[in-house]
Amino acid sequence: MKKKAIRFFSPNDNVEEKKKETKSKDLLTTSISKKGKLLLSPAVLDLLAADPATSRFRVGTEERKRGVGSFFLVKAANDDAEAFAIAKSGRGHGIPLGPILHKMGIDYATLDYTFEIKPFEYEEVSGYELLLKEKTPRDGSASDDE
């Protein structure tokens, strides 16, 4: 008779595995308001280690002909002329980007763009990538953050 390979269980195998809790900062999202501001919730500001009164960010995107796949935020020095300041936006904060978004063909007034926030590294630069997660028609009855 051939010897069978048997796997024996232990009491530890009989314990239900808890789903690994993903860190909330791995799941943070942001969106663009109806007025063209990149919205920064308190949780996003915390992730970015940003003080709304003093922090400034360089904002960029991949070079594309139309639309956007992602934005990049890199913390900048306060005297950086190419950096954007954080502005008060209703009950929260945001970075006004309306004219830039309009030039890129992004219809933020009628479409809701949701971005997932992830850290990124590029040529000695570290910051955050806002990767387009979802683009849906705005609900006309929903109130905006502004």
For 19-68, write each residue's pLDDT tens digit. Answer: 555 444 457 999 999 999 999 999 999 999 999 999 999 999 887 666 67
Share of the chain above pLDDT 90, in %: 48
- Lowest mean pLDDT of 46-55, 57-66, 102-111, 127-136, name the range: 57-66
As a whole number of angstroms, the distance between CA 74 and CA 84 comes to: 10
pTM exceeds 0.85 for this model: no
| CA 143 centroid distance within chain | 21
Domain count within the chain: 1
Sheet of 125-137, strands arranged across: 29-31, 111-122, 125-137, 70-76, 56-61, 84-85
Range among 1-10, 64-73, 115-124, 133-142 with highest mean pLDDT value: 115-124
70, part of any domain: yes
73, part of any domain: yes
Which residue spans within the chain are E strands per DSSP? 29-31, 37-40, 56-61, 70-76, 84-85, 87-89, 92-96, 111-122, 125-137
143, part of any domain: no
Mean pLDDT, rounded, of the chain: 83
144, part of any domain: no
Q: Which domain holds residue 31?
A: 27-137
pLDDT at 141: 46
94, part of any domain: yes
As a whole number of angstroms, the distance between CA 52 and CA 87 comes to: 7
14, part of any domain: no
Q: Is pLDDT above 80 for 8?
A: no
105, part of any domain: yes
pLDDT at 127: 92
145, part of any domain: no
